[in-house]
Structure 1
Amino acid sequence: MPRWKRTSRATLRRSLHLFSEFRYEQPDPERFYTALAQDSAAQLDEHAALDGATMLDVGGGPGYFRRAFEARGATYVALDADVGELSGAGDIHPRTVLGSGMELPFGDSTVDVCYSSNVLEHVPDPWRMADEMLRVTRPGGTVFLSWTVWFGPWGGHETAPWHYLGGSRARRRYRRTHGHEPKNRFGESLFAVTVTDGLRWARRQQAGDVLAVLPRYHPWWARWVVRVPLLRELVTWNLVIVLRKR
């Protein structure tokens, strides 16, 4: 497993700020995702030169991340499978593609940076999507893959913490309590993707060198948790894998 790189940004104050923003995901998504996008751009900038880079955001949604990455000089292209998500913040930007993350409609080695945040747990074949992200990235380019881990406190999304009793049970409970289905429906648009799943894929794939595996929201001194089986599933919240394409 790669050694951690201590950065000035990965502080306890930064972690507390990000955790505090979680409570706004449902009532004020623009606030939550704007904060997350700004932090993501800074975090990715530690591993890839964004200025002048062609960047694909797999599952880019309504554009909160576009502003953050373009501010750092990237030519940003977003892909999403849901037209409603793409238009959630207004008009759909011209550099936007409708398609599946598991079958990216791009040729081999066409982007400098391939990025995905909080999407992997929403596709039925997550490691096919991860392989696709490596495929479309140029040799020497960067893949940044991040997802909400299933056994973390937010693994069930709006059905948490009842997902600890099973995703289907949590979905049924949410439906009984609220009178409608959750946005993230277990077995359809939400799947159980663990830290261990990600580590196995990182070891198995042959297309990229792993630069970092880290808990996304933790301060630098707490990144050791991903080395500890079981504990890493409960406290990681969100796992990041960064790779350099061979």
Structure 2
Amino acid sequence: MRDPSLRRSAALFRAFLRERTDPGHCYRLLARDAADQIERYAPLRGAVVADVGGGSGHFTAEFRRRGARAWLFEPDAAELTAHGPPIEGAVLADGYLLPLADGAVDICFSSNVLEHVADPQIFLSELIRVTRPGGLIYVAFTNWFSPWGGHETAPWHYLGAERARARYRRRTGQAAKHTLGVNLFAVHIGRTLRQVRARDDIAVVTARSRYAPFLAEAIPRLPGVREVATWNLLLILRRLP
């Protein structure tokens, strides 16, 4: 599927709607899409890839299928086995302190993790540290004011996180998985872009709406509008010497 395109965005959206009932299909499709995005900038065949926070390993499996030497680093043991046995070689590790040497990987990958860490800048610094000079860092995250920013409580998070959690409990009879300030944090597009552009150890290759069917690179350039319309920001960064 061409990126961006209406057909691609529609296919991804349909898969997201089926995430709870068919997570395997959803994450396999998302993994193929992410791999396609990476290969616009660097080949996966022969590359050493760190998949940081990749859950049960769908992304790692796709990278390996394309010839990469890919390894999963996941801090949550429950996530490793959420969709079956853990993928071979998976490592239980904190993204703040990866068990990797400086410059150990060609590509460092993180999909929808940044909004789940209390200090995104420390997390990003660790991704950059383990990437070799000239290598790529792929970081995608759901920003707080995105229509999906509250995750399972969206879009009611626009009326306040606690109100959204209370509504979720009333509607489903169970507590929401995510709690703002505990395992979900309000990350914003403008602030994140300013922070990465201020660094002298990386160059921004692209900053784009990950799923948009058109104007994918234009949307994040629009202050205010981008905080809602970006939906999910994709940053591809290059590690500088």
**Could you state the TM-score of these two structures normalised by the residue count of structure 1?**
0.92
Question: Structure 2 residue aligned with 1:97, among 91, 102, 122?
Answer: 91
The structure-2 alpha-carbon separation of the partners of 1:115 and 1:70, relative to structure 1 and needing over 3 Å to count, comes to same
Match of 1:142 in 2: 136
State whether residues 4 and 216 of structure 2, in contact with CA within 8 Å, keep that contact through their aligned partners in structure 1: no
Q: Is 1:173 the equivalent of 2:167? A: yes
Output one character per residue of 1:183-228: Cα deviation in whole Å (capped at 9) or x when no partner. 2222211111111122022112221111000000113434311111
Give 1:71's aligned residue. 65
Matched, 1:132 2:126: yes
Residue 216 of structure 1 aligns with an amino acid whose one-letter code is: R
Partner residue in 2 for 1:213 = 207
- Distance apart, 1:107 and its partner CA: 1.6
Deviations 1:88-108 (A, max 9, x none): 222223321111112222121
Q: Where has structure 1 moved over 6 Å in runs of 4 or more?
A: none
User: How far, CA to CA, are the matches of 2:102 and 2:214 in structure 1?
Assistant: 34
Q: Please give the alpha-carbon distance, in whole angstroms, between the structure 1 residues aligned to 2:78 and 2:55.
A: 9
Give the Cα separation in 2 of the matches to 1:80 and 1:197: 26
State the alpha-carbon separation in 1 of the partners of residues 85 and 222 from structure 2.
45
5+ residue gaps, structure 1? 1-6
Give the whole-Å Cα distance in 2 for the aligned partners of 1:168 and 1:230: 24
Q: Pick from 237, 240, 243: which aligns with 2:231?
A: 237
Instruction: Please give the secondary structure, in 2, of the residue aligned with 1:138.
Output: strand
Distance 1:222 1:106, change over 3 A: closer
The equivalent of 2:156 in structure 1 is: 162
- After the TM superposition, which of the residue ranges 16-25 and 118-127 deviates more from structure 2? 16-25
Whether 1:81 aligns to 2:75 is yes
- Give TM-score scaled by structure 2 length: 0.94
Paired residue for 1:4? none
RMSD, aligned CA:
1.6
| Deviation (angstroms), 1:122 | 0.9
The equivalent of 1:184 in structure 2 is 178
Question: Pick from 107, 112, 132: which aligns with 1:113?
Answer: 107
